[in-house]
Structure 1
Amino acid sequence: MHIEIPLERFVDFYRLVALGKLIQGLVHNLNGPLQNLGMDMEMMEHSLRSDNRIPAELSESFAGRLNRMEGEFDHITRLIKSASMRIDPEGDFLQYGTIKAFLVQEISFLYSNLYFKHNVQKDIDLPADLPRLDCFSRDILLSLCWLIQSVVEGMESGEANRFFMTGKSLSSALELSLVVEGTTVGTSYKDTLDEEMDPSGSLQVQDALGMRTLLAILRLYGVSAAFSREPTRFEMTLLIPFRYNPLS
Protein backbone atom coordinates (compact mmCIF):
# COMPACT_ATOMS: atom_id res chain seq x y z
CA MET A 1 0.00 0.00 0.00
CA HIS A 2 1.17 3.52 -0.83
CA ILE A 3 0.22 6.28 1.61
CA GLU A 4 0.49 9.97 0.80
CA ILE A 5 0.74 12.22 3.86
CA PRO A 6 0.64 16.02 3.47
CA LEU A 7 3.13 17.88 5.64
CA GLU A 8 0.30 19.29 7.78
CA ARG A 9 -0.90 15.77 8.62
CA PHE A 10 2.67 14.65 9.35
CA VAL A 11 2.85 17.46 11.91
CA ASP A 12 -0.36 16.07 13.44
CA PHE A 13 1.34 12.69 13.89
CA TYR A 14 4.30 14.42 15.53
CA ARG A 15 2.00 16.24 17.93
CA LEU A 16 0.30 12.99 18.89
CA VAL A 17 3.65 11.34 19.61
CA ALA A 18 4.70 14.34 21.72
CA LEU A 19 1.38 14.22 23.58
CA GLY A 20 1.85 10.50 24.26
CA LYS A 21 5.27 11.15 25.79
CA LEU A 22 3.82 13.94 27.92
CA ILE A 23 1.02 11.68 29.20
CA GLN A 24 3.53 8.92 29.90
CA GLY A 25 5.52 11.28 32.12
CA LEU A 26 2.36 12.55 33.82
CA VAL A 27 1.16 9.03 34.61
CA HIS A 28 4.57 8.07 35.96
CA ASN A 29 4.64 11.07 38.30
CA LEU A 30 1.11 10.43 39.58
CA ASN A 31 1.96 7.01 41.00
CA GLY A 32 3.89 8.31 44.02
CA PRO A 33 1.28 10.85 45.23
CA LEU A 34 -1.52 8.32 44.75
CA GLN A 35 0.29 5.74 46.87
CA ASN A 36 0.80 8.33 49.62
CA LEU A 37 -2.88 9.31 49.54
CA GLY A 38 -3.90 5.67 49.77
CA MET A 39 -1.76 5.11 52.86
CA ASP A 40 -3.06 8.31 54.48
CA MET A 41 -6.67 7.23 53.96
CA GLU A 42 -5.95 3.84 55.54
CA MET A 43 -4.35 5.53 58.56
CA MET A 44 -7.29 7.94 58.92
CA GLU A 45 -9.78 5.08 58.81
CA HIS A 46 -7.80 3.16 61.44
CA SER A 47 -7.63 6.24 63.70
CA LEU A 48 -11.36 6.90 63.41
CA ARG A 49 -12.24 3.36 64.39
CA SER A 50 -9.73 3.01 67.24
CA ASP A 51 -9.73 6.46 68.90
CA ASN A 52 -12.24 6.39 71.77
CA ARG A 53 -12.22 10.19 72.02
CA ILE A 54 -14.17 10.46 68.75
CA PRO A 55 -17.98 10.07 69.16
CA ALA A 56 -19.31 6.90 67.53
CA GLU A 57 -21.77 8.75 65.26
CA LEU A 58 -19.04 11.07 63.99
CA SER A 59 -16.66 8.16 63.49
CA GLU A 60 -19.23 6.21 61.44
CA SER A 61 -20.05 9.27 59.34
CA PHE A 62 -16.42 9.91 58.46
CA ALA A 63 -15.77 6.19 57.93
CA GLY A 64 -18.56 6.08 55.35
CA ARG A 65 -17.09 9.03 53.49
CA LEU A 66 -13.64 7.44 53.58
CA ASN A 67 -15.03 4.21 52.13
CA ARG A 68 -16.51 6.14 49.21
CA MET A 69 -13.22 7.99 48.74
CA GLU A 70 -11.34 4.69 48.72
CA GLY A 71 -13.68 3.33 46.06
CA GLU A 72 -13.09 6.35 43.82
CA PHE A 73 -9.38 6.19 44.58
CA ASP A 74 -9.20 2.51 43.54
CA HIS A 75 -11.05 3.33 40.31
CA ILE A 76 -8.61 6.13 39.45
CA THR A 77 -5.65 3.90 40.28
CA ARG A 78 -6.90 1.15 37.96
CA LEU A 79 -7.41 3.61 35.11
CA ILE A 80 -3.95 5.10 35.53
CA LYS A 81 -2.34 1.67 35.76
CA SER A 82 -4.12 0.56 32.60
CA ALA A 83 -3.16 3.75 30.75
CA SER A 84 0.47 3.43 31.83
CA MET A 85 0.65 -0.16 30.55
CA ARG A 86 -0.78 0.87 27.18
CA ILE A 87 1.53 3.80 26.55
CA ASP A 88 4.71 2.09 27.74
CA PRO A 89 6.48 1.00 24.52
CA GLU A 90 8.63 -1.44 26.50
CA GLY A 91 5.76 -2.90 28.50
CA ASP A 92 3.46 -5.73 27.53
CA PHE A 93 -0.09 -5.18 28.69
CA LEU A 94 -1.20 -8.15 26.57
CA GLN A 95 -0.59 -10.50 29.49
CA TYR A 96 -3.31 -8.78 31.52
CA GLY A 97 -7.03 -9.40 31.19
CA THR A 98 -9.39 -10.26 28.37
CA ILE A 99 -10.47 -8.46 25.24
CA LYS A 100 -13.88 -7.90 26.88
CA ALA A 101 -12.40 -6.03 29.85
CA PHE A 102 -10.14 -4.10 27.47
CA LEU A 103 -13.04 -2.93 25.27
CA VAL A 104 -15.31 -2.07 28.21
CA GLN A 105 -12.54 0.04 29.70
CA GLU A 106 -11.91 1.68 26.33
CA ILE A 107 -15.55 2.80 26.24
CA SER A 108 -15.16 4.29 29.73
CA PHE A 109 -12.13 6.27 28.51
CA LEU A 110 -14.28 7.74 25.73
CA TYR A 111 -16.62 9.34 28.26
CA SER A 112 -14.29 12.31 27.87
CA ASN A 113 -16.42 12.98 24.77
CA LEU A 114 -19.29 14.79 26.49
CA TYR A 115 -21.78 14.21 23.68
CA PHE A 116 -21.14 10.46 23.87
CA LYS A 117 -21.33 10.50 27.66
CA HIS A 118 -24.59 12.43 28.04
CA ASN A 119 -26.58 11.93 24.82
CA VAL A 120 -25.91 8.38 23.64
CA GLN A 121 -27.46 5.23 25.08
CA LYS A 122 -24.74 2.59 25.24
CA ASP A 123 -25.37 -1.16 24.95
CA ILE A 124 -22.20 -3.25 25.31
CA ASP A 125 -23.02 -6.94 24.81
CA LEU A 126 -19.77 -8.91 24.99
CA PRO A 127 -19.80 -12.52 26.23
CA ALA A 128 -17.63 -13.50 29.16
CA ASP A 129 -15.78 -16.17 27.18
CA LEU A 130 -14.01 -13.78 24.80
CA PRO A 131 -10.28 -14.59 24.55
CA ARG A 132 -7.33 -13.10 26.41
CA LEU A 133 -5.55 -9.99 25.18
CA ASP A 134 -2.42 -11.94 24.27
CA CYS A 135 -4.38 -13.63 21.47
CA PHE A 136 -4.06 -10.36 19.53
CA SER A 137 -1.12 -8.28 18.39
CA ARG A 138 -0.41 -5.06 20.26
CA ASP A 139 -0.66 -2.94 17.10
CA ILE A 140 -4.10 -4.33 16.27
CA LEU A 141 -5.41 -3.48 19.73
CA LEU A 142 -4.05 0.06 19.71
CA SER A 143 -5.42 0.71 16.21
CA LEU A 144 -8.76 -0.73 17.31
CA CYS A 145 -8.86 1.75 20.21
CA TRP A 146 -8.37 4.67 17.84
CA LEU A 147 -10.96 3.27 15.43
CA ILE A 148 -13.61 3.08 18.16
CA GLN A 149 -12.75 6.64 19.15
CA SER A 150 -13.15 7.72 15.53
CA VAL A 151 -16.62 6.14 15.45
CA VAL A 152 -17.56 7.96 18.66
CA GLU A 153 -16.30 11.30 17.35
CA GLY A 154 -18.65 11.05 14.36
CA MET A 155 -21.75 10.65 16.53
CA GLU A 156 -22.50 14.29 17.29
CA SER A 157 -22.66 15.39 13.65
CA GLY A 158 -25.06 12.51 12.95
CA GLU A 159 -27.18 13.27 16.02
CA ALA A 160 -26.61 9.73 17.25
CA ASN A 161 -28.60 8.51 20.23
CA ARG A 162 -27.70 4.80 20.49
CA PHE A 163 -24.46 2.82 20.33
CA PHE A 164 -24.20 -0.97 20.30
CA MET A 165 -21.10 -3.13 20.59
CA THR A 166 -21.38 -6.90 20.22
CA GLY A 167 -18.77 -9.58 19.80
CA LYS A 168 -18.21 -13.31 19.55
CA SER A 169 -15.32 -15.71 19.12
CA LEU A 170 -15.00 -17.63 15.86
CA SER A 171 -12.55 -20.43 15.09
CA SER A 172 -9.69 -18.13 14.13
CA ALA A 173 -10.90 -14.58 14.74
CA LEU A 174 -12.95 -12.25 16.89
CA GLU A 175 -16.07 -10.83 15.26
CA LEU A 176 -16.76 -7.34 16.60
CA SER A 177 -19.73 -5.22 15.51
CA LEU A 178 -20.19 -1.50 16.15
CA VAL A 179 -23.64 -0.03 15.47
CA VAL A 180 -24.63 3.64 15.66
CA GLU A 181 -28.22 4.86 15.35
CA GLY A 182 -29.45 8.43 15.07
CA THR A 183 -31.20 11.08 13.00
CA THR A 184 -28.59 11.59 10.25
CA VAL A 185 -26.04 8.93 11.15
CA GLY A 186 -25.77 7.62 7.58
CA THR A 187 -24.13 10.79 6.30
CA SER A 188 -21.61 10.95 9.17
CA TYR A 189 -19.82 7.77 8.12
CA LYS A 190 -20.17 7.86 4.34
CA ASP A 191 -16.39 7.81 3.82
CA THR A 192 -16.10 4.41 5.46
CA LEU A 193 -17.99 2.49 2.79
CA ASP A 194 -16.01 -0.51 1.64
CA GLU A 195 -15.86 0.50 -2.01
CA GLU A 196 -14.27 3.84 -1.08
CA MET A 197 -11.23 2.11 0.44
CA ASP A 198 -9.05 0.20 -2.00
CA PRO A 199 -6.21 -1.37 0.01
CA SER A 200 -4.12 -1.73 -3.15
CA GLY A 201 -4.42 1.92 -4.11
CA SER A 202 -2.96 5.13 -2.78
CA LEU A 203 -4.46 6.37 0.48
CA GLN A 204 -4.74 10.12 0.85
CA VAL A 205 -4.32 10.88 4.55
CA GLN A 206 -6.42 13.91 5.46
CA ASP A 207 -6.70 13.16 9.18
CA ALA A 208 -3.92 11.66 11.28
CA LEU A 209 -6.40 9.44 13.10
CA GLY A 210 -9.22 9.36 10.56
CA MET A 211 -11.32 6.24 10.20
CA ARG A 212 -10.07 5.47 6.70
CA THR A 213 -6.45 5.61 7.84
CA LEU A 214 -7.10 3.35 10.82
CA LEU A 215 -9.00 0.79 8.76
CA ALA A 216 -6.15 0.73 6.25
CA ILE A 217 -3.68 0.04 9.08
CA LEU A 218 -5.89 -2.73 10.48
CA ARG A 219 -6.11 -4.35 7.05
CA LEU A 220 -2.32 -4.58 6.99
CA TYR A 221 -2.63 -6.87 10.03
CA GLY A 222 -5.25 -9.09 8.44
CA VAL A 223 -8.37 -7.40 9.83
CA SER A 224 -11.34 -7.34 7.45
CA ALA A 225 -14.22 -4.88 7.64
CA ALA A 226 -17.77 -4.88 6.28
CA PHE A 227 -20.25 -2.02 6.41
CA SER A 228 -23.97 -1.41 6.35
CA ARG A 229 -25.27 2.15 6.03
CA GLU A 230 -28.81 3.50 6.15
CA PRO A 231 -30.04 7.07 6.72
CA THR A 232 -30.43 6.50 10.47
CA ARG A 233 -28.10 3.54 11.06
CA PHE A 234 -24.45 2.67 10.52
CA GLU A 235 -22.89 -0.73 11.23
CA MET A 236 -19.28 -1.83 11.01
CA THR A 237 -18.33 -5.49 11.48
CA LEU A 238 -14.67 -6.38 11.98
CA LEU A 239 -13.04 -9.80 11.79
CA ILE A 240 -9.90 -9.58 13.93
CA PRO A 241 -7.54 -12.56 13.56
CA PHE A 242 -6.03 -14.32 16.56
CA ARG A 243 -2.25 -14.53 16.84
CA TYR A 244 -2.86 -18.12 17.87
CA ASN A 245 -5.86 -20.30 18.65
CA PRO A 246 -7.05 -19.36 22.17
CA LEU A 247 -8.41 -22.88 22.66
CA SER A 248 -5.12 -24.61 21.93
Structure 2
Amino acid sequence: MENIQILERLLYSCFQNSKIGHLVKGIVHNLNGPIQILSMQIEILRMDTAKDLKVVESTLALSLPDTAANQLKGLTDNLQRRIERLSQMEEALARMENMVNVITNRSQDGEDGQRPLILNQVLEEELDFWNADLFFKHQVGQQLALPTIPTLIVINEGYLRDLIDCLLDAC
Protein backbone atom coordinates (compact mmCIF):
# COMPACT_ATOMS: atom_id res chain seq x y z
CA MET A 1 0.00 0.00 0.00
CA GLU A 2 2.84 2.36 0.82
CA ASN A 3 4.40 1.81 -2.62
CA ILE A 4 1.11 2.71 -4.30
CA GLN A 5 0.95 5.98 -2.37
CA ILE A 6 4.52 6.80 -3.35
CA LEU A 7 3.70 6.07 -7.00
CA GLU A 8 0.53 8.16 -6.78
CA ARG A 9 2.51 11.12 -5.40
CA LEU A 10 5.12 10.68 -8.12
CA LEU A 11 2.46 10.50 -10.83
CA TYR A 12 0.73 13.59 -9.44
CA SER A 13 4.06 15.43 -9.32
CA CYS A 14 4.76 14.48 -12.94
CA PHE A 15 1.28 15.65 -13.93
CA GLN A 16 1.78 18.98 -12.15
CA ASN A 17 5.17 19.46 -13.82
CA SER A 18 3.60 18.69 -17.19
CA LYS A 19 0.87 21.30 -16.60
CA ILE A 20 3.50 23.84 -15.59
CA GLY A 21 5.54 22.97 -18.69
CA HIS A 22 2.56 23.57 -20.98
CA LEU A 23 1.85 26.87 -19.25
CA VAL A 24 5.47 27.97 -19.54
CA LYS A 25 5.51 27.04 -23.23
CA GLY A 26 2.51 29.34 -23.80
CA ILE A 27 4.03 32.14 -21.75
CA VAL A 28 7.32 31.86 -23.62
CA HIS A 29 5.48 31.94 -26.95
CA ASN A 30 3.61 35.07 -25.85
CA LEU A 31 6.86 36.80 -24.81
CA ASN A 32 8.18 36.86 -28.39
CA GLY A 33 5.87 39.68 -29.52
CA PRO A 34 6.70 42.11 -26.69
CA ILE A 35 10.42 41.32 -27.03
CA GLN A 36 10.31 42.22 -30.73
CA ILE A 37 8.38 45.44 -30.03
CA LEU A 38 10.85 46.49 -27.32
CA SER A 39 13.76 45.68 -29.60
CA MET A 40 12.36 47.83 -32.42
CA GLN A 41 11.52 50.72 -30.08
CA ILE A 42 15.02 50.66 -28.58
CA GLU A 43 16.51 50.75 -32.09
CA ILE A 44 14.29 53.71 -33.04
CA LEU A 45 15.26 55.55 -29.83
CA ARG A 46 18.92 54.85 -30.58
CA MET A 47 18.63 56.29 -34.11
CA ASP A 48 16.67 59.34 -32.91
CA THR A 49 19.17 59.98 -30.12
CA ALA A 50 22.11 59.64 -32.52
CA LYS A 51 20.47 62.19 -34.86
CA ASP A 52 19.88 64.59 -31.96
CA LEU A 53 23.48 64.14 -30.86
CA LYS A 54 24.75 65.05 -34.34
CA VAL A 55 22.59 68.18 -34.39
CA VAL A 56 23.85 69.26 -30.97
CA GLU A 57 27.48 68.54 -31.90
CA SER A 58 27.20 70.48 -35.17
CA THR A 59 25.62 73.38 -33.27
CA LEU A 60 28.52 73.28 -30.81
CA ALA A 61 30.90 73.80 -33.74
CA LEU A 62 29.39 77.25 -34.25
CA SER A 63 30.52 80.31 -32.35
CA LEU A 64 28.17 80.39 -29.38
CA PRO A 65 28.14 82.29 -26.11
CA ASP A 66 29.79 80.32 -23.30
CA THR A 67 26.51 79.75 -21.47
CA ALA A 68 24.83 78.22 -24.53
CA ALA A 69 27.93 76.14 -25.37
CA ASN A 70 28.09 74.77 -21.81
CA GLN A 71 24.41 73.86 -21.90
CA LEU A 72 24.87 72.09 -25.23
CA LYS A 73 27.89 70.21 -23.88
CA GLY A 74 25.73 69.05 -20.98
CA LEU A 75 23.06 67.98 -23.44
CA THR A 76 25.70 66.08 -25.45
CA ASP A 77 26.78 64.23 -22.32
CA ASN A 78 23.16 63.34 -21.52
CA LEU A 79 22.55 62.05 -25.04
CA GLN A 80 25.70 59.92 -24.91
CA ARG A 81 24.59 58.44 -21.57
CA ARG A 82 21.20 57.66 -23.10
CA ILE A 83 22.90 55.80 -25.93
CA GLU A 84 24.88 53.79 -23.36
CA ARG A 85 21.68 52.97 -21.45
CA LEU A 86 20.00 51.91 -24.69
CA SER A 87 22.94 49.57 -25.33
CA GLN A 88 22.49 48.06 -21.87
CA MET A 89 18.78 47.63 -22.57
CA GLU A 90 19.57 45.91 -25.88
CA GLU A 91 21.98 43.54 -24.14
CA ALA A 92 19.38 42.67 -21.49
CA LEU A 93 16.76 42.15 -24.17
CA ALA A 94 19.14 39.92 -26.15
CA ARG A 95 19.67 37.79 -23.03
CA MET A 96 15.89 37.54 -22.58
CA GLU A 97 15.46 36.61 -26.23
CA ASN A 98 18.15 33.96 -25.88
CA MET A 99 16.38 32.48 -22.83
CA VAL A 100 13.10 32.40 -24.74
CA ASN A 101 14.83 30.69 -27.68
CA VAL A 102 16.44 28.09 -25.41
CA ILE A 103 13.10 27.24 -23.81
CA THR A 104 11.39 27.18 -27.21
CA ASN A 105 14.07 24.86 -28.59
CA ARG A 106 13.79 22.57 -25.57
CA SER A 107 10.02 22.37 -25.94
CA GLN A 108 10.41 21.32 -29.58
CA ASP A 109 12.91 18.52 -28.88
CA GLY A 110 11.95 15.40 -30.75
CA GLU A 111 9.59 17.22 -33.11
CA ASP A 112 12.08 17.23 -35.94
CA GLY A 113 14.24 14.26 -36.86
CA GLN A 114 17.89 14.40 -37.78
CA ARG A 115 19.42 17.82 -38.12
CA PRO A 116 22.84 19.43 -38.09
CA LEU A 117 23.87 20.58 -34.65
CA ILE A 118 26.76 22.62 -33.33
CA LEU A 119 27.62 20.93 -30.05
CA ASN A 120 29.33 24.00 -28.56
CA GLN A 121 26.20 26.05 -29.22
CA VAL A 122 24.02 23.41 -27.53
CA LEU A 123 26.35 23.38 -24.51
CA GLU A 124 26.20 27.19 -24.24
CA GLU A 125 22.40 27.12 -24.55
CA GLU A 126 22.17 24.46 -21.85
CA LEU A 127 24.37 26.52 -19.54
CA ASP A 128 22.14 29.55 -20.17
CA PHE A 129 19.09 27.40 -19.46
CA TRP A 130 20.57 26.12 -16.20
CA ASN A 131 21.41 29.69 -15.16
CA ALA A 132 17.68 30.16 -14.61
CA ASP A 133 18.15 27.95 -11.54
CA LEU A 134 19.30 30.34 -8.81
CA PHE A 135 21.36 27.72 -6.98
CA PHE A 136 23.17 26.75 -10.17
CA LYS A 137 23.68 30.38 -11.20
CA HIS A 138 25.12 31.57 -7.89
CA GLN A 139 26.59 28.49 -6.23
CA VAL A 140 28.06 26.42 -9.06
CA GLY A 141 31.36 27.56 -10.53
CA GLN A 142 31.11 27.89 -14.28
CA GLN A 143 33.95 27.96 -16.72
CA LEU A 144 33.33 26.95 -20.30
CA ALA A 145 36.33 26.52 -22.61
CA LEU A 146 35.12 24.66 -25.66
CA PRO A 147 37.35 23.41 -28.47
CA THR A 148 36.32 23.98 -32.07
CA ILE A 149 34.58 20.83 -33.24
CA PRO A 150 32.72 20.01 -36.45
CA THR A 151 28.95 20.15 -36.82
CA LEU A 152 27.21 16.94 -35.76
CA ILE A 153 24.14 15.25 -37.20
CA VAL A 154 21.95 14.34 -34.24
CA ILE A 155 19.10 11.86 -34.44
CA ASN A 156 17.38 13.06 -31.28
CA GLU A 157 18.40 16.40 -29.83
CA GLY A 158 16.32 15.71 -26.73
CA TYR A 159 18.56 12.77 -25.78
CA LEU A 160 21.65 14.93 -26.22
CA ARG A 161 20.19 17.70 -24.05
CA ASP A 162 19.13 15.14 -21.43
CA LEU A 163 22.69 13.78 -21.36
CA ILE A 164 24.08 17.30 -20.92
CA ASP A 165 21.51 17.96 -18.18
CA CYS A 166 22.64 14.81 -16.35
CA LEU A 167 26.26 15.92 -16.57
CA LEU A 168 25.47 19.43 -15.33
CA ASP A 169 23.22 18.06 -12.61
CA ALA A 170 26.09 15.89 -11.38
CA CYS A 171 28.30 18.97 -10.90
User: What TM-score do the two structures reach when normalised by structure 1?
Assistant: 0.51
State the Cα distance separating 1:93 from its structure 2 match.
Answer: 9.2
Fraction of identical pairs, as percent: 23
Partner Cα separation in structure 1 for residue 90 and residue 116 of structure 2: 23
Equivalent residue letter for 2:166: L
User: Aligned match of 1:63 in 69, 79, 83?
Assistant: 83
1:33-182 paired onto structure 2 within 5 Å: 33-51=34-52, 52=55, 55-88=75-108, 91-92=111-112, 95=115, 97-129=117-149, 131-132=151-152, 134-148=153-167, 150-151=169-170, 180=171
Greater helix content: 2
Asked whether the equivalents of residues 109 and 158 of structure 2 are also in contact (C-alpha less than 8 Å), the reply is no
Asked whether the equivalents of residues 109 and 156 of structure 2 are also in contact (C-alpha less than 8 Å), the reply is no
State the Cα distance separating 1:79 from its structure 2 match.
Answer: 2.0
Partner Cα separation in structure 2 for residue 70 and residue 115 of structure 1: 26
Asked whether the equivalents of residues 110 and 156 of structure 2 are also in contact (C-alpha less than 8 Å), the reply is no
The structure whose Rg is larger is: 2
Asked whether the equivalents of residues 46 and 83 of structure 2 are also in contact (C-alpha less than 8 Å), the reply is yes
1:232-247 paired onto structure 2 within 5 Å: none
Secondary structure at the counterpart of residue 144 of structure 2: strand
State the Cα distance separating 1:111 from its structure 2 match.
Answer: 2.2
Task: Describe the shift of the 1:111–1:38 C-alpha distance in structure 2 as closer, same or farther (beyond 3 A).
Answer: same
Corresponding position of 2:9 = 8
Equivalent residue letter for 1:144: L
State the Cα distance separating 1:89 from its structure 2 match.
Answer: 6.0
Cα offsets for 1:106-134 (capped at 9, x unmatched) = 122222333332333223343220543x3
Partner Cα separation in structure 2 for residue 93 and residue 81 of structure 1: 19
State the Cα distance separating 1:95 from its structure 2 match.
Answer: 4.0
Partner Cα separation in structure 2 for residue 113 and residue 38 of structure 1: 26
Corresponding position of 1:23 = 24
Secondary structure at the counterpart of residue 122 of structure 1: coil
Asked whether the equivalents of residues 24 and 84 of structure 1 are also in contact (C-alpha less than 8 Å), the reply is yes
Give me the CA root mean square deviation: 2.8
Note the residue ranges of structure 2 that are not aligned, 5 or more in a row: 57-71
Equivalent residue letter for 2:105: M
Q: How many residues align?
A: 148
Greater strand content: 1
Task: Describe the shift of the 1:75–1:95 C-alpha distance in structure 2 as closer, same or farther (beyond 3 A).
Answer: farther
Partner Cα separation in structure 2 for residue 97 and residue 147 of structure 1: 19
